Structure 1
Amino acid sequence: MSDTIAAISTPRGFGGIGIIRISGNDALRIAQSILSVKISEPNTVYTGYVFDPETSDKIDTCIVLFFKAPHSYTGEDVVELQMHGGIKNLDLILGFILAKGVRLAEKGEFTKRAFINGKMDLLEAASVIELIEAKTDKALKLASKKLFGIFSEKIINFKKKVLSLLSHIEGVIDFPFDVKLMTSEEITKLIKELIEETQKYLSSYKTGKMIENGARVVIAGKPNVGKSTLLNVLLKFDRAIVSEIPGTTRDTVEEVIDFFGVPVRLIDTAGLLETGDVIELLGAERTVRAIEESDLVLFVFDASETLSLEDQRLAELTESKERIIVVNKTDLPVELDIVKLKEIFKNDKIMEISALKRQGVEELENKILEHILPSDFESAFVTTEREKEIFENILSHLNGSLALGGSGNDELIAEELRDIISELGSLTGEEVGEDVLQTIFSRFCIGK
């Protein structure tokens, strides 16, 4: 990458400060051509102003930071210009820079150069956008751990274990009389340990994805069981219309909240009434779709009514989903057979609440959190589909190695282990194609 790039690195709009970043061999020379102050030493703060190189008109005051390669974010010479955060002034100054032959940076190109120049591995580079897009404290914490290399360290240690086993097997193949043989039981034990570690990473994907992208929690139940009241209570403000008239909610009502550090999309659904009303039919169809796409279902029953046919239909519809049974309206005389309900839903947690009186709601919130955020969430490093696919491939190769363990065919075991090393290289960026890099960094904004 011999060309010099530049871009506005702060969000477009009006603010206190606007930053233009320049990176590449000509960064200092280009910046110097529009600055009143002489930049002589790196890692030093300079103040001056930016002027129009054609008219010499002063445009804006400026703070200048110069970082000499390789001691910069990108690993190249970098100049950062800090001006007032306007639109016209930044666009004009960026125009001066681009007119000098500098190329406008592509999305994520500064971070991509940091990766290419060895300032960070691919896991750390990809975590930059996760950190920028973090919607909650827990998402930020997870992204920060990846950014500072904690996940990368785990991968390095995992790779060392695979390399150690591969080195032994290759040594046996090449020097059968000089290498002390490991027993097949010892090799099997090591492979099983690697499988267990891989499975932990894979099982963390659901949690990691949920922390980063949010959980879909659907409130389901027949009409007038208090679904909308429960939605408003969980949101802590009135979002849905609450009425004694059955079928008030004729469509899904959705709202995203920060639920104790996890972004949660709460979805209030319509019931499944037998009706000829076109709108209600559409609402019922959306209810079915919302349940199918959910991470957790809050299946709400009315404590003041007996079980109905629609309750049974919803029970069948939600049977394969993770769910919590919520018995609402416990402040009213109880007609629902709770004992029978516990028999029907013996594998589900049953919570008794009064959404209207705010009774039992805190306990329900804790139970929801248990479902969407396991206690070991801080080890949920796998957050992208690409990372998940790589670990699935690794698990497949490990299972292949395990199956070959007693066959005596060391060549085939070694081949499986080499494939694992290659997959790990793809994960950290040691072995990765330009198409993969393009996919990862295209998520970034220009200037990052």
Structure 2
Amino acid sequence: MKLTILGGGGFRVPLVYGALLTDRGEGRVTEVVLHDLDDSRLYAVARVLAEQAATVPDAPTVTATTDLDEALRGADFVFSAIRVGGLEGRADDERVALAEGVLGQETVGAGGIAYGLRTVPVAVDIARRVARLAPDAWVINFTNPAGLVTEAMSRHLGDRVIGICDSPVGLGRRIAKVLGANPREAFIDYVGLNHLGWVRGLRVAGRDELPRLLADPDLLGSFEEGKLFGTDWLQSLGAIPNEYLHYYYFNRETVRAYTEVEKTRGAFLRDQQARFYDEMKRPDTSALTAWDRTRAEREATYMAENRETAGAGERDEDDLSGGYEKVALALMRAIARDERTTLILNVRNQGALSVLDSDAVIEVPCLVDANGAHPVAVAPLPDHATGLVCAVKGVEREVLTAAENGSRTTAVKAFSLHPLVDSVNVARRLVEGYTEVHPGLAYLK
């Protein structure tokens, strides 16, 4: 099978290739094509992959190209992990938002809207090319904002595009571990949008173990989300929220923390990865060693400002191993080999969550087989969660309309309606600020 990775010069590509190296079954991926616009980044990542494969017999072949059509032609799976505007763009997203006193995180609030506005037109072009050049391919989308981008692509690819994220996987794994359960044997009742969801139950052998966790303050405070949100708040919710909901529930504190740091997350990653790619230009450098070192630092500092605000301390070592590459591999195996499994994915609603229409992309448990991912019907959310999900989905729809029509007025509306943007005038200034720094938003008129 041929797997094409868009954003193939991206820093996390070795995670995907590493997962592929563990798969020895029939029908596995045997050919990997890396596509990126930057030759030097492709070269750097290809070096890391070569060292990963050095001791693995019959490892998938790797080729690299800057020609998108060539990369897509004949693909069985397309993994999309592009970053329109690069990390410089992410740093600009944060800076412009924080100057207005609002959050600039890449998937939440103003930063997420800006990132979506410049990414959706590119993602739609990719979807159209896939439909023309590889109509039987399955697209696995990891490009952020993952739910929004998946919905944009689904308008051209239908259910053949599936979004993935490692946040629900990590959350479910942590809850299962603290309850002494095997994550592989647990059903995680998780529902929401990407980076906006809640675990409402964790069933093992038909029994929901989550009430036991919520009733025990010591147990509840022993893992990442308990430390981040506080046990009292989790007990009030009666659920365990995705860590990204910290930006909503503790927004004022988080914005202040982000304003006070020496570098925003985007600026930190921009500088860190620039050093890595520069290091890869030296032929005597061990590519895999340098990549491992850089990744460890990256993971250890993930959401550091939020944890500092909550007094949560350092991340546990078990939380530094990622996870999205395992979801991608499990998804490909389930489809290619009809190895039926249940995964939390971003898919079209199809009636699973009654408060949203069928085409709205949501993040829920799905049954996966050779015919794709099928969302499991879920119980209604409580009113507070329903309101937040509907509000953010409404914003996503305005972003899609603005991207389709090139409407600056609709872009202002998208910013204005987001729960974390507190003024229409702020929204207008955000659009002005973002169009000044992002050439990719010149289409907004």
Bin of the TM-score, shorter chain as denominator length? under 0.3
**Greater Rg by CA:** 1
TM-score in terms of structure 1 length: 0.22
TM-score in terms of structure 2 length: 0.22
More helix by share: 2
